[in-house]
């Protein structure tokens, strides 16, 4: 059974102006998503600026999110690292908080071989009992989980059950789906490729755009799975201008600006991320208005 079906938001981590985590606004964001169709919350992922959180902050954000959600929808915690020992530690601690799943990014910078990826993911999975979503994003990590590797892990490690595919390579995802034959759940990691991945048997999306358009993102998946492919496609195509604006600078710079524009939390980022360029911010604002968002 899938950890979730539909739209999982890769939720931003709100910061105060002094850089501290703003837990009051975090609570508001979580409630906003529960009320507006989000099917799962992914906490402390790339969009949540996990790379600049201390281990203590990282785990407190996971604990806080799990506590606030209180099993109303699934919570998946990002606990990946380029250090296997650190990934084990974060995963074991997150499991104690009652998360419904873990998101494990491929080890970045040290660029493991496919054998190294198998050893890494197998070691982390063996340390916990909760289900695991692999996260393949070679544009950030410098390493690609080959379809054969993902299928091997799904067939040989009981709690590796899914993959977030953000390679952007539809041909690779097609091969993965063919080799897997249903043994691994596939989630789109790209907001502009949700419908294509659903057509290959995907279960949904782990989404950036859902931070500001949660109901629309939920509806895109729900319509497809209910058989309304034309309605789903209409929502996908409508979102393209906004998707482009949300990725005109490195994620999560634009989406942090977007949630700020909507008044949901401050737009404070942690270095080395920087304030959005004014021209790009104007482009984002226009795309949000064209999409129909009110702020």
Q: pLDDT tens digits for 73-95? A: 999 999 999 999 999 999 999 99
Whether the pLDDT of residue 126 is over 90: the answer is yes
User: So what's the pLDDT on residue 202?
Assistant: 98
Separation of alpha carbons 18 and 98, rounded Å: 30
Average pLDDT of span 130-148 = 97
User: So what's the pLDDT on residue 152?
Assistant: 98
Q: Are the C-beta atoms of 84 and 124 separated by less than 8 Å?
A: yes
Q: Residue 54 to residues 89, 100, 154, 284, 292: CA-CA distances in angstroms?
A: 13, 22, 31, 30, 37
Crossing angle (nearest 10°) for helices 170-180 and 147-156: 30
User: So what's the pLDDT on residue 251?
Assistant: 97
Residues annotated as catalytic are 135, 164
Query: Which residue, 169, 289, 197, 173, is CA-closest to 241?
Result: 289
Average pLDDT of span 264-268 = 93
Average pLDDT of span 276-291 = 97
Q: Are the C-beta atoms of 210 and 38 separated by less than 8 Å?
A: yes
For the CA atoms of the chain, what is the radius of gyration? Answer: 18
Average of per-residue pLDDT values in the chain: 97
User: So what's the pLDDT on residue 295?
Assistant: 87
Separation of alpha carbons 68 and 50, rounded Å: 19
User: So what's the pLDDT on residue 90?
Assistant: 98
Average pLDDT of span 32-53 = 97
Share of the chain above pLDDT 90, in %: 99
Query: Which residue, 159, 163, 10, 128, is CA-closest to 76?
Result: 10
Spatial neighbors of 283 by CB under 8 A, at least 6 apart, are 245, 248
Take residue 261 and report the two structure tokens written for it.
């524009």
Whether the pLDDT of residue 1 is over 90: the answer is no
Domains of the chain from N-terminus onward: 6-228 (3.20.20.70)
Q: pLDDT tens digits for 161-193? A: 999 999 999 999 999 999 999 999 999 999 999
How many Cβ atoms are within 10 Å of 52's Cβ, its own excluded?
Answer: 16
Average pLDDT of span 209-237 = 98
């Amino acid at each position: 059974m899938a950890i979730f079906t539909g739209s999982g938001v890769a939720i931003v981590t709100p910061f105060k102006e002094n850089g501290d985590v703003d837990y009051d606004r975090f609570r508001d964001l979580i409630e906003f998503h529960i009320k507006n169709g989000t099917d799962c919350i992914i906490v402390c992922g790339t969009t949540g600026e996990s790379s600049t959180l201390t281990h203590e902050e990282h785990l407190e954000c996971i604990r806080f999110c799990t506590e606030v959600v209180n099993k109303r929808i699934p919570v998946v915690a990002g606990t990946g690292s380029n250090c296997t020992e650190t990934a084990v530690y974060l995963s074991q601690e997150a499991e104690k908080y009652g998360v419904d799943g873990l998101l494990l990014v491929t080890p970045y910078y040290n660029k493991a071989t496919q054998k190294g990826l198998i050893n890494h993911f197998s070691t982390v999975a063996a340390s916990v009992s909760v289900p695991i979503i692999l996260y393949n994003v070679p544009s950030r990590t410098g390493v690609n989980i080959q379809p054969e590797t993902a299928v091997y892990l799904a067939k040989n490690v009981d709690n590796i059950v899914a993959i977030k595919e953000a390679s952007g390579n539809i041909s690779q995802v097609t091969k993965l789906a063919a080799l897997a034959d249903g043994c691994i759940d596939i989630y789109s990691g790209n907001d502009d490729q949700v419908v294509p991945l659903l057509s290959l048997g995907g279960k949904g999306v782990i989404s950036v755009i859902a931070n500001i358009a949660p109901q629309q993102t939920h509806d895109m998946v729900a319509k497809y799975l209910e058989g309304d492919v034309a309605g789903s496609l209409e929502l996908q195509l409508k979102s393209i201008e906004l998707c482009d604006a949300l990725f005109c600078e490195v994620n999560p710079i634009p989406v942090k600006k977007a949630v700020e524009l909507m008044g949901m939390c401050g737009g404070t980022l942690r270095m080395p991320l920087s304030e959005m360029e004014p021209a790009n911010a104007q482009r984002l604002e226009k795309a949000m208005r064209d999409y129909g968002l009110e702020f």
